[in-house]
């Protein structure tokens, strides 16, 4: 089944705000929107990894960039009022499960109150037409069952990160129903699975951890080899976010929650993914833990994307083998000195050429 194409006429000259533009997904999204002709503004913290995609791909050159903590309501509101965005993508967050155990209050304040501050800033803002807020596949109350989660399944969260994202879903629906829908603003949430792709150097993520280890000639120890995740290349959900923004901008009744993930054929374990990554990278050692250690993390998690496929016409384009190949080629080429922005543009070109 062919997926919808991006409407370049929609994005050309559009004032678009991306929060979290200094992060992995935000950097890729900012670059893609720039290619489409959008006038992009970004709000985010300074990059917290070394290296970072934001700095290597010079994302700051592609947008009106603002360094701001979204927990600073006054500063956040001032920037938004100055930008006067027509479309907002909210990706700024504390995104790590294990870090959330270390800093739960920071996680809740960023992911819950940061989202509330953003939505509050959009109240009575005449320019705004659509808002896509990115949460996570982990918003669902995980029962470790054998079928994928659908958008109408119960929300929950054992760890602070998951709980904070589930709570933000309630904030989103409350502001949509109480204020923004009456204002004619379409607000949707996007629940995406685990993303891979070049340019991610976050801590406690499988592929970045592997790249760091392999480039130093070390072995990566996999904590949960049998855990199942809805893996997808970063371009897949980003494409979904943009398709979602396009459609709710013209049809506010479509503003709702949507899952974005792979078309599940069979479960893909952490062990399977890292072994494929190692083969594509060309070298590297992997140690699979025999016992689950450390903090609680879900063992089985898959998403049902039937709603996004039927309502939005969204369909993933990449197979897992292709996603791994793109990701490993990016890291290998970047390590050899190739230009990071050119590598990103090449991957987007490849993706856009697919039907």
Residue written as token pair 């001032």: 78
CB 96 within 8 A of CB 202: yes
Is-cis flag, bond preceding 330, omega within 30? Answer: no
pLDDT at 263: 83
Angle at 345 between CA 341 and CA 350, to 5 degrees: 150
Cα 242 to chain centroid distance, Å, stands at 12
Find the helix packing angle between 24-35 and 340-353, rounded to 10°. 70
pLDDT at 1: 54
pLDDT at 230: 83
What is the DSSP secondary-structure string of 196-258? E-TT---TT-HHHHHHHHHHTT-EEEES-TT-B---EETHHHHHHHHHHHHHHHH-GGG-SEE
Residue written as token pair 């699975």: 193
Contacts of 331 (CB under 8 A, 6+ apart): 198, 211, 281
- Mind listing the domains of the chain with CATH numbers? 8-353 (3.40.50.720)
The alpha carbon dihedral of 321, 322, 326, 329 has a sign of positive
Residues lower than pLDDT 70 in the chain? 1-3, 264-267, 290-299
pLDDT at 3: 67
Task: Give counts: helices (H), strands (E), the chain.
Answer: 14, 11
Model confidence over 20-49: pLDDT tens digits? 999 999 999 999 999 999 999 999 999 999
Residue written as token pair 């292709």: 322
pLDDT at 24: 97
pLDDT at 2: 61
pLDDT at 146: 77
pLDDT at 123: 96
Model confidence over 238-271: pLDDT tens digits? 999 999 999 999 999 999 999 999 986 666 889 9
The alpha carbon dihedral of 202, 196, 245, 157 has a sign of negative
pLDDT at 281: 93
Distance CA 20, CA 69 (A): 10
pLDDT at 297: 61
């Amino acid at each position: 089944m062919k997926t919808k194409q991006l409407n370049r006429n929609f994005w050309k000259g559009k004032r678009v705000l991306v929060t979290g533009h200094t992060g992995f997904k935000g950097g890729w999204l900012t670059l893609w929107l720039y290619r489409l002709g959008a006038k992009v503004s970004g709000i985010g913290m300074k990059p917290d990894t070394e290296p970072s995609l934001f700095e290597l791909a010079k994302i700051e050159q592609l947008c009106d960039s603002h360094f701001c903590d979204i927990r600073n309501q006054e500063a956040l509101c001032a920037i938004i009022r100055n930008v006067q965005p027509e479309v907002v993508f909210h990706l700024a967050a504390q995104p790590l499960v294990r870090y959330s155990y270390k800093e739960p209050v920071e996680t809740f304040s960023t992911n819950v109150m940061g989202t509330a501050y953003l939505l509050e800033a959009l109240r009575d803002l005449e320019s705004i037409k659509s808002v896509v807020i990115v949460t996570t596949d982990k918003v669902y109350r995980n029962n470790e069952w054998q079928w994928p989660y659908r958008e109408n399944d119960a929300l929950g969260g054992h760890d602070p990160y998951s709980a904070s994202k589930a709570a933000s879903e309630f904030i989103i629906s409350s502001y949509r129903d109480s204020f923004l829908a009456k204002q004619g603003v379409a607000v949707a949430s996007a629940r995406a699975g685990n993303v891979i792709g070049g340019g991610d150097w976050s801590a406690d993520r499988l592929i970045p951890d592997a790249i760091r280890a392999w480039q130093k000639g070390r072995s990566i120890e996999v904590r949960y080899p049998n855990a199942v995740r809805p893996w997808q290349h970063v371009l897949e959900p980003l494409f979904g976010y943009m398709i979602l923004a396009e459609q709710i901008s013209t049809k506010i009744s479509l503003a709702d929650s949507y899952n974005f993930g792979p078309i599940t054929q069979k479960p893909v374990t952490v062990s399977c993914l890292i072994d494929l990554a190692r083969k594509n990278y060309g070298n590297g050692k992997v140690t699979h833990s025999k016992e689950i250690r450390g903090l609680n993390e879900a063992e089985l998690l898959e998403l049902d994307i039937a709603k996004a496929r039927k309502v939005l016409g969204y369909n993933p384009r990449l197979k897992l083998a292709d996603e791994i190949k793109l990701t490993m080629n990016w890291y290998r080429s970047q390590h050899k000195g190739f230009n990071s922005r050119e590598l990103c543009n090449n991957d987007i070109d490849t993706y856009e050429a697919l039907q």
